[in-house]
Amino acid sequence: MKSKLFTPVTFGPLTLRNRTILSAAFESMCPGNAPSQMLHDYHCSVAKGGIGMTTIAYAAIVRSGLSFPHQLWLRPEIVPDLRRLTDDIHKEGAAASIQIGHCGNMSKPAMAGCTPISASTGFNIYSPTFVRGMKKEEIYEMAKAFGRAVHMAREAGFDAVEVHAGHGYLLSQFLSPYTNHRKDEFGGSLENRMRFTRMAIGEVMKAAGDDMAVLVKMNMRDGFKGGMEIDECIEVAKTLEREGLHALILSGGFVSCA
């Protein structure tokens, strides 16, 4: 009997040849924050092996979202190289997705070119570095940056985008009461803590239109006292579903909780 794993599946406008997906995992194959031949060969080999969709990860939507020198930074000048990659993935019969996001308080100043930003001011032991809470106007601009990243992903030939809203990345830092201590409309209640994520996903959905699939990686539990628990995470999942996204990637934990 043929396994269901190897039958087609549809996410919104995208149909995959089977139900296998290479999940987004940092490859460290982007010297100068640009795609390399090694990144190209890696994903093309996965596609040739029969995967339904392969996911390029992680792509910072702006420079301030970078943490490592071999991390991808999605910007206009690298679109042609990404297009060559997606074209070759498609030739092997697979779909191509790109994970987009912002590291927030995990960004490293040497790479980001600025003091790392987050929901609130503090100190992050992962970098380690001091962190500056975002101003309201920066939050609105960052939400738009998510949309611009999707436009570039389309130009680069990607079939789907995966928004990273888990693991203590920037959107996750706004969602979690442990890292979000704001007193304005972006902090406090779960509804307020979800506001930035809803704005970002709104921009993503507009940019994705009716021909790109949108997936969101999110936590089901932060994994420590004072973080998000399952009940709040379920509410986030329901809210994201109402925003129109096509699939959720459920995960958990923080890279750094301080």
Strands 213-219 and 247-251: parallel
169 catalytic, yes or no?
yes
Alpha helices by DSSP H, the chain: 37-48, 79-91, 109-112, 136-155, 170-175, 190-193, 195-208, 230-242
User: How many Å apart are CA 190 and CA 110, to the nearest integer?
Assistant: 33
Q: Alpha-carbon distance 38 to 60, whole Å?
A: 19
3-state secondary structure at position 100: strand
Helices 195-208, 136-155: inter-axial angle, 10-degree rounding: 30
Listed in sequence order, the residues at least 6 apart from 53 whose beta carbon sits closer than 8 Å to its beta carbon are 14, 16, 20, 21, 22, 94, 95, 96, 97, 159, 160
Does residue 2 sit in helix, strand or coil? coil
Q: Which of 58, 126, 140, 169 is catalytic?
A: 169
**What residues are annotated to the active site?**
169
